[in-house]
Amino acid sequence: MEDDGILLMESPQKIFEKYHIDEEMGFALPNPLETLPPPYDEWISIAKNLPELIKKNELRKKVDELKILSIDGLSGHKLQRLAHLALGYITMAYVWNQGDEDVRKVLPQNIAIPYCELSEKLGLPPILVYADCVLANWKKKDPNGPMTYENMDILFWFPGGDCSKGFFLVSLLVELAAASAIKVIPNLLKAVKNQDEVTLKKALHYIASCLHRAHKEFEEVHKHVDPSTFFNVLRIYLSGWKGNSQLPEGLKYEGFWENPKKFAGGSAAQSSIFQCFDILLGIQQCSGEEFAAEFLQEMRNYMPPAHRDFLLLLKSGPSVREFVRSRDDIELKADYNECVKAMVSLRKYHLKIVAKYIVIPASQQPKKNQASEESSEQKNKGTGGTNAMDFLKSVKTTTEKFLLIDH
């Protein structure tokens, strides 16, 4: 296959450049821009002041007053990603406003038209996605300082104080820890092709250590994100309009599409990094429960197209798992299993987080009898619109099945 050739023949630098991957940052956007040139700076000033505008109930009025802007003046990938991030924040705020019953079902054309045009250009849906709020929503306080929570901030906030910062930055730091393993993928696949077990063991060992580091970063969520604020405030602004009882038809993008459209809210399932390691290790989520496999597949449509293409490229490459199985090498199997165990461990931990941040707060909600209230089923959904516990349990169980056991 030609794709196979790209993976095995091209230099890692060429591969990463082609698929918009940074050797250190992985799928995250390196050094995102913070400002848009006039007249697009109007979008930034609204997005920068969302909590204040929502609190004063002035957000929708501000958006309604915006002029329809052509996106032709937005040249360059980073500028377009910043605009998509800002418009995503504004859209979520416009729809959900103060997080109560007052939900808008129509996004006005002055924001809908440029947002949908830009989304088409970037190959992303017109809703706030993980590639926006996590991968392109960060900066360093001291540009020469380290990539640590203390030295980082987010570009835009939702109501709920530091909850946005905690949730998005911890997600980014988990992503970055795991992503540092991407740089060994080309050499790892060459090692499989050349039957070089020494190089393969080193690469697998390194991948496992990066996944363990990702687990460590994940543990920081308890320090920076309050469960009640996440559930009652931030979760609302991250909710999409697919499988959502408050917007059963979806959202109408005025002036762009005739009918309302349904899109899922941002979720960790939209991260390319863990799907990348599933593919690399030969963990076939499609062999698990159908609903989970379908959701993961659907979430690829919410990833930047270059990252989606990279996952397809990996799938066309040589099989690490089959090579390890074919070898009578206990150490090699152990190194492979260490990577699978690390993936299982991350998914188990994610289940605990969902229990703490979604399931428990949902069970503590006062019982209300109104039909308009969120149903208990709705409350147990993750921001992507699935039942988060069922989905994660299925993915974890499937991952466990791929441990290599000596018979």
352: amino acid identity, one letter:
K
- The residues pairing with 22 across neighbouring beta strands, listed in sequence order, are 26
100: amino acid identity, one letter:
D
Is the bond preceding residue 39 a cis peptide, omega within 30 degrees? yes
* Residue corresponding to tokens 């709920």: 160
- The residues pairing with 261 across neighbouring beta strands, listed in sequence order, are 251
* Binding site per annotation, positions for heme b: 350
Helix (H) or strand (E) run with residue 50 in it: helix 50-55
Coil, strand or helix at 255: coil
> Could you give the CA distance from residue 368 to residue 365 in angstroms, rounded to a whole number?
9
Q: What is the dihedral of CA 92, 96, 97, 101, to 10 degrees?
A: 180
* Cβ atoms of 288 and 115 closer than 8 Å: no
Helices marked H in 180-289 — which ranges?
A: 185-193, 197-218, 221-224, 227-229, 235-238, 272-281
* Binding site per annotation, positions: 350
Report strand pairing: 252-253 vs 106-107: parallel
Please give the structure tokens belonging to residue 123.
Answer: 């190959």
- The residues pairing with 251 across neighbouring beta strands, listed in sequence order, are 261
Coil, strand or helix at 296: helix
* Cβ atoms of 236 and 90 closer than 8 Å: no
